[in-house]
Amino acid sequence: MASMKKLINDVNDVVKDSLVGFEAAHDDLVRVDHENKVVFRKDAPVKGKVGIISGGGSGHEPLHGGFVGLGMLDAACAGEVFTSPVPDQMLVATKGVDSGRGVLHIVKNYTGDVMNFEMAAELAQAEGIDVQAVVVDDDVAVEDSTWTAGRRGVGLTVLLEKLVGAAAEEGQDLDALVALAKKIIAEGRSMGMALTGCTVPAAGKPSFDLADDEIEVGIGIHGEPGRERRKIGTAAEVAEMLVKPILADLDYAGSDVICFVNGMGATPLIELFIVYAEVAKLLAGANVHVVRDLVGNYITSLDMAGCSVTLLKADEDLLRLWDAPVVTPGLRWGK
Amino acid sequence: MASMKKLINDVNDVVKDSLVGFEAAHDDLVRVDHENKVVFRKDAPVKGKVGIISGGGSGHEPLHGGFVGLGMLDAACAGEVFTSPVPDQMLVATKGVDSGRGVLHIVKNYTGDVMNFEMAAELAQAEGIDVQAVVVDDDVAVEDSTWTAGRRGVGLTVLLEKLVGAAAEEGQDLDALVALAKKIIAEGRSMGMALTGCTVPAAGKPSFDLADDEIEVGIGIHGEPGRERRKIGTAAEVAEMLVKPILADLDYAGSDVICFVNGMGATPLIELFIVYAEVAKLLAGANVHVVRDLVGNYITSLDMAGCSVTLLKADEDLLRLWDAPVVTPGLRWGK
Pairing of strands B103-108, B131-136: parallel
Contacts of B273 in chain A (CB under 8 A): 17-22, 25, 61
pLDDT at A211 over 60: yes
Helices A316-323 and A156-169 sit at what angle, rounded to 10 degrees? 80
pLDDT grade for B335, boundaries at 50, 70 and 90: low
Give the CB-side neighbour count of residue A178, counting CA atoms within 13 A. Answer: 12
The nearest CA of chain B is from the CA of A125 a distance in Å of 33
B60 a catalytic residue: yes
pLDDT digits (tens, 9 = 90+) for A222-265: 888 788 899 999 999 999 999 999 999 999 999 999 999 999 99
pLDDT at A138: 96
What's the mean per-residue pLDDT of chain A? 94
What is the chain B residue with the closest CA to A319? B335
Please answer yes or no on whether B274 and A25 come within 8 Å at the CB atom.
no
What is the enclosing helix (H) or strand (E) of A259? strand A256-263
d(CA B39, CA A204): 42
Please answer yes or no on whether A333 and B235 come within 8 Å at the CB atom.
no
- Out of B235, B331, B334, name the one closest to residue A333 (CB): B331
The alpha carbon of A95 is separated from its chain's Cα centroid by a whole number of angstroms, namely: 23
pLDDT at B332 over 90: no
Q: B311: closest CA among B182, B180, B156, B163?
A: B156
Count how many residues are written for chain B: 335
- Main-chain dihedrals φ then ψ at residue B252, nearest 5 degrees: -100, 0
pLDDT, average across residues B47-66: 98
Q: What three-state secondary structure class fits A145?
A: strand
Contacts of A260 in chain B (CB under 8 A): 334
pLDDT at B52 over 60: yes
Q: B65: closest CA among A270, A264, A261?
A: A270
Please answer yes or no on whether A266 and B307 come within 8 Å at the CB atom.
no
For chains A and B, count residue pairs whose Cβ atoms are closer than 8 Å. 210
pLDDT digits (tens, 9 = 90+) for B4-20: 789 999 999 999 999 99
The DSSP line for B55-103 is: EEEESSTTTTGGGBSBTSBSEEEEEEETSPPPHHHHHHHHHHH-SSS-E
Please answer yes or no on whether B333 and A162 come within 8 Å at the CB atom.
yes
pLDDT at A2 over 60: no
pLDDT at A207: 85
pLDDT grade for B148, boundaries at 50, 70 and 90: confident
d(CA B50, CA A301): 42
A60 a catalytic residue: yes
pLDDT digits (tens, 9 = 90+) for A108-127: 999 999 999 999 999 999 99
Pairing of strands A75-81, A38-41: antiparallel
The nearest CA of chain A is from the CA of B24 a distance in Å of 7
The nearest CA of chain A is from the CA of B21 a distance in Å of 4
What's the mean per-residue pLDDT of chain B? 95
pLDDT at A224: 81
d(CA A73, CA A135): 16
pLDDT digits (tens, 9 = 90+) for B161-196: 999 999 999 999 999 999 999 999 999 999 999 999
Q: A232: closest CA among A243, A221, A217?
A: A217
Contact B273, B297 (CB under 8 A): no
Integer distance in angstroms from the first to the last C-alpha of chain B?
32
Q: Which of these ranges, A56-65, A121-130, B210-219, B254-263, has the smallest mean pLDDT?
A: B210-219
Contacts of A236 in chain B (CB under 8 A): 9
Among residues B26, B64, B105, B222, which one is catalytic? B222
- Main-chain dihedrals φ then ψ at residue A55, nearest 5 degrees: 155, 175
- Out of B61, B231, B270, name the one closest to residue A270 (CB): B61
pLDDT at B331 over 80: yes
pLDDT grade for B333, boundaries at 50, 70 and 90: low
Q: Which of these ranges, A73-82, A136-145, B84-93, has the smallest mean pLDDT?
A: A136-145
- For chain B, how are helix, strand and coil distributed in percent, rounded to 5? 35, 25, 40
Count of Cβ atoms closer than 10 Å to residue A43 Cβ = 13
pLDDT grade for B208, boundaries at 50, 70 and 90: confident
Q: What's the complex ipTM?
A: 0.96
Count how many residues are written for chain A: 335
pLDDT at B2: 37
pLDDT at A334 over 80: no
pLDDT at A182: 98
Q: pTM for this one? A: 0.96
pLDDT at B206: 87
The one-letter amino acid code at A170 reads: E
Please answer yes or no on whether B303 and A266 come within 8 Å at the CB atom.
yes
Count of Cβ atoms closer than 10 Å to residue A247 Cβ = 18
What is the chain B residue with the closest CA to A28? B292
The one-letter amino acid code at A307 reads: C
Number of H helices, E strands in chain A: 8, 12
User: pLDDT exceeding 70 applies to what percent of chain B?
Assistant: 97
